[in-house]
């Protein structure tokens, strides 16, 4: 069965499709992806037989109990993850040109065959990302399921006319779904899954420390304003993070279980990721240099010495230089961030934008 969350996504992906004609040769073997279901659902290429329910085209639920193929394995322990990995390796990788052509076909014409190829060619990417978060969940297969849903959403939202390759774009969606799943299902901490809750979970303590370091009292009102959330949401998150029985850094009594922060994926990049990060940083640096030409000299100074510099000027120093109040400097900073975010979005696309302008920290 397809779960309710998938049904909320898939109809948008396939709503414009018509039921495909049945293949003339009934004996032709179907290609399967035994992913994510107790009652395996086949992922069929659109040129083969398709279920009357288009939602079944792409994914199902839990791969843990996928059926076995053949009778020769009766005495061999069945590993559903190994079987799934062997299955998805058969799908060819796409070149940049192929990705773009397929994405255009889907975006412009609703071509499900193109969407199917984009999805199956990136299933291994989902597995690679899910492995980084494996310690945070009971089942790697559950993480793969969530990542696969994110991959489908990435296909639906991808703009092929921006100079960002699909796997790079899809990575953000895959990670978002996996992290949301981890947060929502962590057995001690029910942090919440709304955008505001996730923002607070990852940034609240960091913002408190920053304000304290700069001489401000981190009141709930100021925290809410800086993080662009409601004050009541700040209060609620403080209570959740401060309660001893739900602390993200306190493991359960069973010491074999780590804390949530300790099991979220490491930031240590692989060699390929390091190269990709260097390329992203190069692009961002170039765009920021162009952005500086569009703003006044005072804002350029604040951008360079407050937002981008490792050894930042204090609010007091900047305020004195321009004869402004510290609060006015902070307002200018926020305005610069908004302008920069809009500029980067226009030049590079939304996959380069993260919440709270963390893009600035990639310099």
Lowest mean pLDDT among 86-95, 122-131, 167-176, 230-239: 230-239
**Segment 315-321 mean pLDDT:** 93
Q: Is 67 helix (H, G, I), strand (E, B) or coil?
A: coil
Q: Given this model, what pLDDT does residue 279 score?
A: 58
What is the C-alpha separation between 209 and 199, in angstroms, rounded?
16
Quick: pLDDT tens for 176-233.
Answer: 888 878 777 764 445 555 667 767 777 787 888 888 888 888 888 898 888 888 888 8
Task: Identify the residue with better confidence: 339 or 15.
Answer: 339
Residue 34 has pLDDT above 90, yes or no: no
Query: Which of 119, 107, 103, 2 has its CA nearest to residue 52?
Result: 2
User: Residues 306, 312: contact at Cβ < 8 Å?
Assistant: yes
Q: Given this model, what pLDDT does residue 97 score?
A: 92
Q: Given this model, what pLDDT does residue 194 score?
A: 66
Top-level class of domain 4-17+28-185: mainly alpha
Residue 313 has pLDDT above 80, yes or no: yes
Q: Given this model, what pLDDT does residue 280 score?
A: 63
Q: Given this model, what pLDDT does residue 117 score?
A: 95
Residue 126 has pLDDT above 60, yes or no: yes
Cα 313–Cα 315–Cα 320 angle in degrees, nearest 5: 95
Query: What's the whole-model pTM score?
Result: 0.43
């Amino acid at each position: 069965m397809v779960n309710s969350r998938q049904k909320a996504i898939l109809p948008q992906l396939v709503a414009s499709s018509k039921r495909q004609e049945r293949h003339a040769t009934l004996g032709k073997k179907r290609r399967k992806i035994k992913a994510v279901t107790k009652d395996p659902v086949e992922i069929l290429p659109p040129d083969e037989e398709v279920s009357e329910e288009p939602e079944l085209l792409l994914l199902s639920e839990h791969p843990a109990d996928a059926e076995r193929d053949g009778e020769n394995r009766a005495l061999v322990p069945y590993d559903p993850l190994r079987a799934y990995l062997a299955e998805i390796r058969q799908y060819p990788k796409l070149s940049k040109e192929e990705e773009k052509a397929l994405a255009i076909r889907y975006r412009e014409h609703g071509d499900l065959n193109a969407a199917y190829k984009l999805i199956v060619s990136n299933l291994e990417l989902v597995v690679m990302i899910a492995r980084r978060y494996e310690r945070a969940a009971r089942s790697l297969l559950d993480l793969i399921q969530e990542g696969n849903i994110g991959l489908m959403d990435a296909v639906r939202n991808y703009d092929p006319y921006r100079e960002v390759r699909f796997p790079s774009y899809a990575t953000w969606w895959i990670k978002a779904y996996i992290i949301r799943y981890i947060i929502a299902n962590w057995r001690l901490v029910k942090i919440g899954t709304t955008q505001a809750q996730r923002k607070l979970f990852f940034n609240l303590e960091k913002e408190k420390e920053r304000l304290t370091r700069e001489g401000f009292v981190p009141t709930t009102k100021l925290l809410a304003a800086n993080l662009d959330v409601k004050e009541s949401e700040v209060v609620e998150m403080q209570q959740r993070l401060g309660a001893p029985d739900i602390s993200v850094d306190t493991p359960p009594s069973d010491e074999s279980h780590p804390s949530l922060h300790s099991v979220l994926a490491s930031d240590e990049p692989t060699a390929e990721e390091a190269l990709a990060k260097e390329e992203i940083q190069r692009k961002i640096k170039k765009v920021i240099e162009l952005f500086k030409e569009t703003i006044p000299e005072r804002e350029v100074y604040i951008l360079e010495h407050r937002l981008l510099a490792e050894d930042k000027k204090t609010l007091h120093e900047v305020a004195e230089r321009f004869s402004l109040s510290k609060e006015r400097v902070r307002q200018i900073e926020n305005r610069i961030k908004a302008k920069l975010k809009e500029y980067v979005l226009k030049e590079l696309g939304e996959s380069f934008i993260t919440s709270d302008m963390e893009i600035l920290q990639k310099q």
